[in-house]
Structure 1
Amino acid sequence: MHGYSQLRLGRQSIDNQVYLLTFTTHMRVKHFQKWENAKCLSQCIESETILKQSKALCWVVMPDHVHILMQLGNSDTISNYIRRLKAGAKRQLLINDKLWAKGFHDRAIRKESELLPAARYIVANPLRAGLVKSVKDYPFWNSVWV
């Protein structure tokens, strides 16, 4: 078993559990290098229609991938949330080509002490990628801790 199938092994969706989610664009095309596209995806991430009862605690939109620290709502699944987000963004962006790579990576945050380090990891992505010298200069992120 390889690739996408490997990611699904042992995947569980637990109500109110916090997950670190990562997913990429198809072929790592930098669709979100365009300001309009990144802004649109940012709005989708925070959309109540997409979130339903889930909460986006921290997130960043990178040129070719997304990281989200989210708390799963009652009676939802990680897969359904990601499906709503990917479909909603594709619909809003009016991209005819394949936008998203298949699948996503998830990691359950099991201890409260892991929350802030995970959020810092997410917010620091643009710095590590050399896109900005300060996170204050990167507009496509948000965190409940700020």
Structure 2
Amino acid sequence: MDRRGNHRLRRGRISEAGRLYLLTTTTRNRTPLFSDLYFARAVIKQLRLSEQEGACRSLAWVLMPDHLHWLVELGRGGLSSLMRTFKSRSSCALYRAGADRQRVWQAGFYDRALRREEDIKATARYIIANPLRAGLVSRAGDYPHWDCVWL
């Protein structure tokens, strides 16, 4: 079901296998579900499953209490398919872990295609530094819900 304004998120969106994308999605009403360690780990498992199945290659990600930043190299399928599958599977995993059976994710997602000449490692560092900027930790390494292929 389309929500008001979702069409603007898709305008101009293209999906190219092998292209790099920065994806961002938030929980419904910005509910801080991932402050709970078990809920966060259930979602992280689904991130890794997306990669194992060839839908993407995760370069960097951080799971904040109420949103996800995910830098990927797109694999098989498109962006919408990747995010739809990830959101569906992670919602089911959260329900199994004891989360309330309400919609977990906000409709839609934001994406930004990166150019090959952009400094990809700088983008990854920016992603990983999110918990620092949010004041959740004083060192990036102290935050438990992130990963990066270069660190």
> Is the shorter-chain TM-score for this pair beyond 0.5, marking a shared fold?
yes
8 Å CA contact 1:20–1:69 kept in 2: the answer is yes
Q: Distance in 2 between matches of 1:66 and 1:24?
A: 6
CA–CA separation in structure 2 for the residues paired with 1:3 and 1:99: 19
TM-score with structure 1 setting the length: 0.93
Is the 2:51–2:57 Cα contact (8 Å) retained in structure 1? no
Tell me whether 51-60 or 87-96 shows the greater mean CA deviation: 51-60
Task: Return 5+ residue gaps in structure 2 as ranges.
Answer: none
CA distance in 2, matches of 1:142, 1:89: 18
**What's the counterpart of residue 104 of structure 1?**
109
C-alpha deviation, 1:116, in angstroms: 1.1
Equivalent residue of 1:46, what SS? helix
Aligned-residue offset at 1:71: 0.4
CA contact (8 A) 2:50 2:86 kept: no
Question: Could you say which residue in structure 2 is the equivalent of 1:92?
Answer: 93
Aligned to 1:133: 138
Residues 1-146 of structure 1: pairs in structure 2 closer than 5 A: 3-48=5-50, 51-74=53-76, 76-94=77-95, 95=99, 96-146=101-151
Residue pair 1:19, 1:69 contacting (<8 A) in 2 also? yes
Whether contact under 8 Å (2:60, 2:70) holds in the other structure is yes
* TM-superposed deviation, 1:43: 1.4
CA distance in 2, matches of 1:135, 1:51: 29
Q: Which amino acid aligns with 1:54?
A: C
TM-score normalized by structure 2? 0.90
Moved over 2 A (4+): 48-53, 111-114
Residues 15 and 26 (structure 1 numbering): CA distance in 2 closer, same or farther, change over 3 Å?
A: same
How many angstroms apart in 2 are the aligned matches of 1:128 and 1:26? 22
5+ residue gaps, structure 1, are none
Report sequence identity in percent: 40
Whether the aligned pair in 2 keeps the contact of 1:54 and 1:71 (CA below 8 Å) is yes
Give the C-alpha shift of residue 15 in structure 1: 1.1
* Letter paired with 1:35: L
How many residues get paired?
144
